[in-house]
Amino acid sequence: MKKTLTIAGSDSSCGAGIQTDLKTFVAHGVYPLTAITAITAQNTVGVSHIEELSMESIKLQIEAVVNDIGADSVKIGMLSNKETILTVSKTLKELNLTNIVLDPVMVSTTGHKLIKDDAINTLIEQLFPIADIITPNIKEAELLVGFEIKNEESMEKAAKKLREYTKGDILIKGGHLDKEDAVDIFYSDGNIHSFISKRVDSSNTHGTGCTLSSAIAANLANGKSKVEAVRDAKDFITSAIESGIDIGKGSGPTNPLFFLKPYSPEKISKEDSFMKETDEFYDLIESLRGKKPLIHHITNSVTINDCANITLAIGGSPVMADDINEVEEMASIASALVINVGTLNSRTIESMIKAGKMANEMGIPVILDPVGAGATSLRKNTLNNLLREVRFAVIKGNSSEIMSLIEEDKKGRGVDSLHKSTEALIIAKELAKKYSSVIAVSGDVDIVTDGDRVAKIKNGTSMMGDVTGTGCMGASLIANFCSISKSNFEAAILGLLSIGIAGEMAESSLRNNEGIGTFKVRMMDYVHSIDSRTLKTKGKVEYV
């Protein structure tokens, strides 16, 4: 397990400081270590007292945990005076710690000053040079650079100015700007990155800076690049603010543990049991990226590039091969096979059957994407032949396509879904039992069933329906997970979760003038950055 050390003050209301750092570390699956610099008496209304700890105590706390346990990253928060800053700087240098995230805490959410005036220059001189990422908000950045920050242009100017004092990167948090969206500017390796999210209308923002910087530190400990660490932390803090806790008479705290349910040993529902059973299966995404499985596609010409890129994004290795003379050999060395009938032609139909049979012989999972099932006689006959000749691990389609596979007297309507998910569920369970396959039905609520178990996945966005190929990409993602999972049922859930969550994250990042083109690219980006924590915390799975 990775370890992250927080060096910060204690908040008696547990909304910020050390306490919220610990909650954030736990949420990211890292082991928390602490060194307390000051004890505050505070609540949602304000800070009434600060008692600074001795320099010896701070130094010994850091040395005790690092010398025994070690630290993969460090988050630095409230350091209220010059002596504390000098002690922390000297100790970190002596211990040669890396992945240091500095949150230059100067003023609390409630407006209380948390650093003495003569300590600001010491902070810049002693801690900026050793920090890897520095995360001031607008007000803090203005104090540090000496000019007003009114827009994104001045945020960039401030970031570049602060970069003069450090080898690290600068994240200017734009929550204080009067804008419809929340825009953060990250200056990294000479490049400007803008991280945009919809502004959450909430007064429960106590601890936002602590939560964000702690999430960045935890992400660095978990091996993410700086840009990935910041981007994922930005998504995390948005969820934590959305789930903010409405307590006290002032500004309530964010909720870094928004994904947790109260522990109840006496009464565990089926959904709780399922999530408990599948805690480990979220980690399959890390195994997938470690193994880089070869995913053989015989797919349609419209989305072939999308399927290849989404496979690369999730961590697999795509190969697109449909020639009759090589499909058997290719299938024999692949880890999974995707058969997509989107742009059927007589040349590839035999290739699909030969490749499918070889994959069955080699024990390799085969995924069928019956695009446009029932729309024409050619599709209907081809799918009947495929289902007769090849055993499919997963059959993935929209409700119209799935219905058409079993209701031979009804015609589908291309790639559009006509049937309600309740009807599709009944048919999907029947189809699963008929073909001994897992059936994955995409729609407003995605459904996965093996004929007995049913999972409903409530992730995704309506914009996904405006982009050609999201269904095909979903089938490719399922194939990637099937290649490394012992359970096709769980693999199908993970595949649909991945693209659904990525779609939600992509939509939330769009500006007013950005549309489906940007959405598609960002969805691919978020699939590339998604990890087990994101799947677990953002996934909306109901097990029936």
Active site residue 465: no
Residue 16 contacts by C-beta under 8 Å, 6 or more apart in sequence? 108, 109, 206, 207, 209, 210, 253
Q: How far apart are CA 88 and CA 107, in angstroms?
A: 20
Q: How far apart are CA 412 and CA 405, in angstroms?
A: 9
Active site residue 173: yes
Tell me whether residue 469 is annotated as binding.
yes
Sheet holding 541-543, edge to edge: 317-320, 294-298, 336-340, 366-369, 394-398, 438-442, 446-449, 454-457, 541-543
Tell me whether residue 396 is annotated as binding.
yes
Q: Which residue has the tokens 């990250």?
A: 186
Tell me whether residue 442 is annotated as binding.
yes
Active site residue 122: no
Q: Which residue has the tokens 């993935």?
A: 396
Identify the active-site residue in 208, 278, 311, 348.
208
Residue 207's identity, in one-letter code, is: G
**SS3 readout for 174-195:** CCCCCCCEEEEEEEECCEEEEE
**β-strand partners of 31:** 3
Active site residue 24: no
SS3 456: strand
User: If we measure between CA atoms, which residue out of 383, 359, 381, 358 comes closest to residue 369?
Assistant: 383
Terminal-to-terminal C-alpha distance of the chain: 33
Q: Which residue has the tokens 């105590």?
A: 57
Residue 128 contacts by C-beta under 8 Å, 6 or more apart in sequence? 102, 134, 162, 165, 166, 168
Q: How far apart are CA 255 and CA 159, in angstroms?
A: 28
Residue 452 contacts by C-beta under 8 Å, 6 or more apart in sequence? none
Say if residues 186 and 193 touch (Cβ distance below 8 Å).
Answer: yes
Q: What is the dihedral of CA 517, 519, 522, 524, to 10 degrees?
A: -80
Active site residue 205: yes
Identify the active-site residue in 20, 44, 122, 205.
205
Identify the active-site residue in 9, 168, 174, 207.
207
Beta-strand (E) ranges in 370-421?
Answer: 394-398
Q: Where in the sequence numbering do the catalytic residues fall?
A: 173, 205, 207-210
Annotated binding-site residues for ATP read 396, 442
Annotated binding-site residues for substrate read 320, 469
Annotated binding-site residues read 320, 396, 442, 469
